[in-house]
Structure 1
């Protein structure tokens, strides 16, 4: 190859090299431009991002903070550089944050953790922190932390958690949280020398409040009850609303069971005090069951035992407490059987009515009779009203029973008029239950009984307990006025034994007060002063309301009551309750109790012969 050819080859190679170099230079320039554009894009993203980007050196100092730090930390990004990151973290979270940063050294990948930092408002706020160790990158040389404000999310989570475990109305713990707390108490029971107990509370007469004053007042009452309960227990005790008008309380580490009883009585006293709702006094009570938290029990077992004890307490009388005992299971079974038998008796028409005479204390003439519900069971015999009336109230069976008594009593009273030979017809008194009073059908029930029997309305008296009247609502007043519009009379039964308020005597259309036998017993009793009986009689006189004394058993009581101004009375002194046919037989010939003067002059017996003095069940 000659020199020229070699020169040409060399020149071509040089040109190729130059071309390759030029291409590489253009490529590098393109990469630099792309890198600059990427850096600019990254910087724009960092600058505009709502998240904070921090670069933290191995010594824990912040080397770089993005502009978003102003919004999150409340200070300029540049002022954060050189500050220890952990100095910005909540004291309770410092250990966790430090452990995370220490564990990152030399570890690839990302790690997230949540902690609190001092926010722009000066308050602690939650942040989610995603960390990446880029210490090996010369351009970074530290741990990159992406800080995101999650305060709103944590607040929402907290709110949702609270809603999941708390009652929305009262803000108390709900059943789920309560059972969780009881489960912890059960777990601690084997190691604890001090008892823990559960109280199960059921409000008495709450349904009457709801029905008469409305659900709005009922909700206000539940909130007020929750407030009072909190004043009766210790700060560490758990109060829960289980639903409706049922509450539960977990009392941990008590001195003894006597301490639990003291708290139960404190609660009873607190809830008996009237609640002021929309300008009126509202009265309720509470029945309480007490059960011990024992090792080996499930939380549901403990709550069920307390519920059973409450059921037992309410069965004895409202406003009581009872401590769980295993034999209560049998009591509940017996009660359920009694309820089933009562339903069968109502369906079969086996509920009977007996009548006790009411007489004029001065003359001895019969004024009328009170209709009393009775139940004779084939196997149980005579079932006391105290055993089945409460069950009838709870189950609603008292409503068909009440309708039956209305019709039977009005029918009998109409029949007896024929046996009186032209004399004034006997007045008939019928007890109206609180449950039946709340029924929308009440007015129609009474109207139909009067229509079907033909009894004059003025001859019928409905006896209502004070508990029915204690909620002085417009609905109660309207119902009483509707009853009065039928032409009948209204009486308050066992006056003075409930939540008496003189205000309702003027507000409500009351015709008669019946004095409970507990106030009659002291009359003419040596060493006793019947001050309450005297006060009720005087009150009746002042308001123009007739008074009837119940449970008169001795002539001295009759004389003492008459001297005080009481006009009517009933009791064993005159006659015990009797069947309709037996009463009718005594009415064929007009008879009466001896007048006061005659009673002092002779030993004349009551109007009914001994064969008609039936035992009262």
Structure 2
């Protein structure tokens, strides 16, 4: 038996109702007419001279609804004996003050047979003796409440698998979290079925639905009593597990899931092995359920990369948020032209003169300070901003060299190298970008060197070949950057029109203490010579390295021994300072 008022107070006893008391208020002809005209169950209630509630009049519909409540006291008007004392209190308080609460919901019975009612009160004019009266309407809300419950049940259930959905799952997490007295009593596992979209595409949505249902059944078989399973997305499932031994129990649950998924699934005549990514997040006391669920989803992304279940680590999530923040700030910085190009000298190791410069992007954030390229370049590649960044760098580098020429009054005997990302090679029209930079600056192609990493070649050799040929048609120089650190094939070096091999600094810096590093550098130099390529050594930090590389026949080098990356004007002055007259 339940009762709830919108501005309710705790029910309390009231005085005895009086029905045949001489001091009772009598119904008038107008009262009868009003009740008869109303299409709802209604009655008029007042107070006797003693302040006791009395039922003045009612219509037949009121009797019909009262009969459904099974409350005989209400039928007789004896509110003191009413099963729901809150009803009498509601009426007394309203008659004392028409601004008081005027509605009350109550339930009669329990379970399937329960009925739900709502009483509403409205003020009426006072009786001839000046005592207050009110109109009472009684509504049977059983059908409405049952419909609401049915609709809510549908809203909280996944129609395909019959499991709770994400809304229901987060509500369950919230309930468990509110009853948990300490951290880590529960954990959320998010299970993501890998390659599901490929199965859907190749076999159709019906086969995909069948797989989801079978997958859900297997998950159920991996659970313990008390664990809660829900389908939280297309091919994503959430599991709430109780913990006794902390994270060990959560990882044990992940292990059971992987075991039950080890057996191939049979679809039509095919047997398909399904792998899944599993992320784990431990519940903290008072934690927002959506935040907990997102933490488990974040761990799933890491699990996919690692190939095994992963537990959410706040530090890694913080780093991910920083990357996202940097992406937003980088986009704004590019739009406002807040990045700069610095230029690191490339020294001819035989003559000691500056042969050219490598253009390097630098970002000094107004709030964060200097942000390393090792941090913002990967973000640019991941977000696609590398295309905008690459075009900006190409234009800026070409314009800088053209300005140096104008200041000198003639073309200078130097070039500028610009790095190209594998993402740029795959998505952008590099030849058009270079041609546009040359046209706007007035430079000839040989003044630009385009530096590509091995990964840009390995990902799509055919496209790389077309890009290289287009660049050579513009008379640009092509260099392979970080040579020796990737997966280059000698066949690529033989087929592709590469002019320069840049020896990675990881080999150069180890030359003075590691004979193997020296052997690798010798081999690269010999290979370049055999293929008619020049060489550039990166990471030269001591005079010994510079001297040794020059003796081995390396064409040019760069590194802190010569100079750090310089701003444009300082770079030009550096070139002048090393110029031999």
> TM-score, normalised on structure 2?
0.51
| Equivalent residue for 1:443, pick from 417, 421, 431 | 431
| Residues in 2 aligned to 1:201 and 1:514: alpha-carbon distance in whole angstroms | 42
The alignment covers a number of residue pairs equal to 377
1:304 matched residue in structure 2: 294
Matches of residues 336-375 of structure 1 in structure 2 within 5 Å? 336-375=324-363
Matched, 1:562 2:550: yes
- Which structure would you say has the larger Rg? 1
Matched, 1:477 2:445: no
| Equivalent residue for 1:498, pick from 486, 498, 501 | 486
Closer, same or farther: CA 194–589 of 1 in aligned 2, 3 Å = closer
| Equivalent residue for 2:371, pick from 372, 379, 383 | 383
Which sections of structure 1, spanning at least 5 residues, go unmatched? 1-163, 166-175, 204-214, 221-234, 265-286, 593-606, 608-617
2:528 matched residue in structure 1: 540
Report the Cα offset of residue 484 of structure 1: 2.2
Matched, 1:508 2:523: no
Deviation digits for residues 39-86 of structure 1 (CA, Å, limit 9, x no counterpart): xxxxxxxxxxxxxxxxxxxxxxxxxxxxxxxxxxxxxxxxxxxxxxxx
Matched, 1:455 2:443: yes
Deviation digits for residues 279-310 of structure 1 (CA, Å, limit 9, x no counterpart): xxxxxxxx997656999999976663244357
| Residues in 2 aligned to 1:362 and 1:416: alpha-carbon distance in whole angstroms | 24
Kept after mapping to 1: 8 A contact 2:508/2:517: no
Kept after mapping to 2: 8 A contact 1:199/1:306: yes
Kept after mapping to 2: 8 A contact 1:430/1:462: yes
| Residues in 2 aligned to 1:547 and 1:418: alpha-carbon distance in whole angstroms | 30
| Residues in 2 aligned to 1:434 and 1:196: alpha-carbon distance in whole angstroms | 40
| Equivalent residue for 1:413, pick from 398, 401, 410 | 401
| Residues in 1 aligned to 2:498 and 2:193: alpha-carbon distance in whole angstroms | 31
Closer, same or farther: CA 383–195 of 1 in aligned 2, 3 Å = same
| Equivalent residue for 2:312, pick from 312, 318, 324 | 324
2:561 matched residue in structure 1: 573
Q: What SS class does the counterpart of residue 536 from structure 2 fall into? A: strand
Kept after mapping to 2: 8 A contact 1:198/1:302: no
| Residues in 2 aligned to 1:370 and 1:348: alpha-carbon distance in whole angstroms | 24
Q: What SS class does the counterpart of residue 448 from structure 1 fall into? A: helix
| Residues in 2 aligned to 1:455 and 1:318: alpha-carbon distance in whole angstroms | 47
| Residues in 2 aligned to 1:335 and 1:569: alpha-carbon distance in whole angstroms | 33
Kept after mapping to 1: 8 A contact 2:510/2:517: yes
| Residues in 2 aligned to 1:452 and 1:326: alpha-carbon distance in whole angstroms | 48
Kept after mapping to 1: 8 A contact 2:295/2:312: yes
Deviation digits for residues 163-185 of structure 1 (CA, Å, limit 9, x no counterpart): x78xxxxxxxxxx99x99xx99x
| Residues in 2 aligned to 1:546 and 1:425: alpha-carbon distance in whole angstroms | 17
| Residues in 2 aligned to 1:307 and 1:458: alpha-carbon distance in whole angstroms | 50
Matches of residues 1-16 of structure 1 in structure 2 within 5 Å? none
More moved, 557-566 vs 570-579: 557-566
1:433 matched residue in structure 2: 421
| Residues in 1 aligned to 2:472 and 2:566: alpha-carbon distance in whole angstroms | 29
Report the Cα offset of residue 579 of structure 1: 0.2
Which sections of structure 2, spanning at least 5 residues, go unmatched? 1-159, 203-220, 224-228, 255-276
Closer, same or farther: CA 474–328 of 1 in aligned 2, 3 Å = closer
> TM-score, normalised on structure 1?
0.49
2:511 matched residue in structure 1: 523
Deviation digits for residues 498-549 of structure 1 (CA, Å, limit 9, x no counterpart): 2333232223222211111111111122776433323322222222222211
Deviation digits for residues 139-181 of structure 1 (CA, Å, limit 9, x no counterpart): xxxxxxxxxxxxxxxxxxxxxxxxx78xxxxxxxxxx99x99x
| Residues in 2 aligned to 1:338 and 1:382: alpha-carbon distance in whole angstroms | 12
| Residues in 1 aligned to 2:282 and 2:413: alpha-carbon distance in whole angstroms | 59
2:380 matched residue in structure 1: 392
Q: CA RMSD in A?
A: 5.5
Deviation digits for residues 445-502 of structure 1 (CA, Å, limit 9, x no counterpart): 2111011111110121111112211124433322232222222121121112223332
| Residues in 1 aligned to 2:550 and 2:414: alpha-carbon distance in whole angstroms | 21
| Residues in 2 aligned to 1:326 and 1:582: alpha-carbon distance in whole angstroms | 43
